[in-house]
Amino acid sequence: MKLNTVGIALSYYREKYGLSMTQVCEGICSPATMFRIEEGYREVDSLVSATLLSRIGKQVLEFELLLNEKDYNLFRLRKDIHRNLEEKNLDTAEKLLQSYQSVMPKKQVLHEQYYLWGKAELLQKRGASKEEIKAVLNEAILLTKPFFGKKKNTSDLYSEMEIKLFLGLIQFSEDISWKEAELKRMLLFTRKYDSKKIKEQAEMSILKELASIQEEKGDAQKELDTLPTPEQLEELYPDTSQWDERMAVALRRKKHRPMLKRVLVAALTLVVLTLGALAVIADFRKAVYTMIQKFLPIEMQLTYQVDGEPLERLPDGYSDHYVPDGFEMDDAQKFERAENFLHVYSSKETEESYTVRCSIIQPGQQSLFDNEHTVYETVKVGEADGVLGTSTDEHGKNVYTLSWEHRGITHTVMGNIPYDEIMKIAEGIR
């Protein structure tokens, strides 16, 4: 089986944009599941892949996508539903939508959301009442934007489907202030994250609705002038085209390796909850780091408290210096910057793999561990206290997740390799 490039792309662009896993996957899946997708430990269907990628302004067809037979059939059904809706073959579209509902995975919000969107489209094309259409659209958007309509704001990231649903709701809403605010949020999202290939198309519908509202208010130009200009946004947010090109080259050069084996949810997820800008301060007092361990029903939580100024970057040359015989680093998945790095290694002979992730600690940073199928114990990594999680993969082989903090840096080594090798890798990081 080929390595699915969706996980690579998600990790690459999310890191480039400085987004947390929680921001990208809100309402779609848990941060732990997001981590497993990025690391290649979790197979994911095409709808989930497309939705996660569209949350960061990318289209799934830009990347290699692996589909099993069931997923392919669902993918084709969605294509047929779209085509028949566009061609106004409503009876055929309704039958296809009913077929989709009967075979789609149960208790998966994205498939349910897609079904409700199709239902709303049918209702609208058949002249149903505004109240009926609005009720279906509202039900659909709440599946992935659970705080919609409440005091707590939802994420400022949007999937392609969420934009469609919001544009539908805007047509039937009489709350001009809400419509205007939501349109501006979506416009800022498209200008900030969408690649050049889809930016123009995405903005067209949003600007049309926004212009209509402003015309209705009689102060269109005044309101539009409050939005950042393309030049201002370019200054604030760099053009991603250079990243797109680099990513494409890396994926073309990549030799396909066996997909990392799925685990029973032994993956550790690093969720940075407070991502403030890291100012360069020449003189700072040594920080004291406190790690708080908390067990919840399905996950174990590590929260870091920082007393003093945290580190601003990893020390020069900070890296893992021990690599077991037969293992090679996957350059396509490698990510390195001043604040953190990710290295992925695999063995062609044994089909084993492991990852090394190091990151400076920020106040309030939190790590989440699976607590359903993993046994934890405290171990020593050099002079530091570490947490070791042990689970088994689908073949009964042990999978280890080792995490520890040392001098303001969190470290994670995870893989289905022998315990002794996990410890040697950990002790070789400096």
CATH of the domain at 318: 3.40.1000
Task: Tell whether 391 is covered by a domain.
Answer: yes
Is the Cβ–Cβ distance between 360 and 311 less than 8 Å?
yes
Q: Tell me the C-alpha distance between 319 and 411, whole Å.
A: 10
pLDDT in tens, 147-191: 776 655 556 889 889 999 999 998 888 888 888 888 888 888 887
pLDDT in tens, 395-423: 778 889 898 888 888 899 988 899 999 99
Residue 68 bridge partners (DSSP): none
Residue 120 pLDDT > 90: yes
Residue 424 bridge partners (DSSP): none
Over range 251-263, report the average pLDDT: 38
Query: What percentage of the chain reaches a pLDDT higher than 90?
Result: 24
Over range 50-65, report the average pLDDT: 73
Task: Tell whether 341 is covered by a domain.
Answer: yes
Over range 329-356, report the average pLDDT: 84
Over range 381-386, report the average pLDDT: 90
Mean pLDDT of the chain: 75
Residue type, 237: Y
Residue 27 pLDDT > 70: yes
Q: Which residue has the higher pLDDT, 303 or 230?
A: 303
Residue type, 93: A
Q: Where residue 276 falls among pLDDT bands split at 50, 70, 90?
A: very low
Task: Tell whether 278 is covered by a domain.
Answer: yes
Task: Tell whether 94 is covered by a domain.
Answer: no
Q: How many domains does the chain have?
A: 1
How many C-beta atoms surround the C-beta of residue 110 within 10 A? 22
Q: Which residue has the higher pLDDT, 391 or 354?
A: 354
Is the Cβ–Cβ distance between 369 and 389 less than 8 Å?
yes
How many C-beta atoms surround the C-beta of residue 61 within 10 A? 10
Q: Tell me the C-alpha distance between 228 and 218, whole Å.
A: 20
Task: Tell whether 98 is covered by a domain.
Answer: no
Residue 305 bridge partners (DSSP): 290
Helix (H) or strand (E) run with residue 344 in it: strand 340-347
Task: Tell whether 208 is covered by a domain.
Answer: no
pLDDT in tens, 353-382: 898 989 888 766 656 665 556 788 889 999
Q: Residue 137's closest CA among 122, 123, 120?
A: 120
Task: Tell whether 287 is covered by a domain.
Answer: yes
Over range 259-270, report the average pLDDT: 30
Phi and psi at residue 158, to the nearest 5°:
-130, 140
The terminus-to-terminus CA distance of the chain in angstroms comes to 35
DSSP string, 227-289: SPPHHHHHHHS--SHHHHHHHHHHHHHPPP-PPPPPBSS--EEEE-S--------SS-PPPEE
- pTM score of the predicted model: 0.53
pLDDT in tens, 243-255: 555 555 554 444 3
Least confident of 192-206, 293-307, 355-369, 388-402: 293-307
Q: Residue 353's closest CA among 363, 361, 343?
A: 343
Residue 417 bridge partners (DSSP): none
Q: Residue 303's closest CA among 336, 272, 341, 263?
A: 272
Q: Which domain holds residue 287?
A: 263-427
Task: Tell whether 205 is covered by a domain.
Answer: no
Residue 299 bridge partners (DSSP): 370
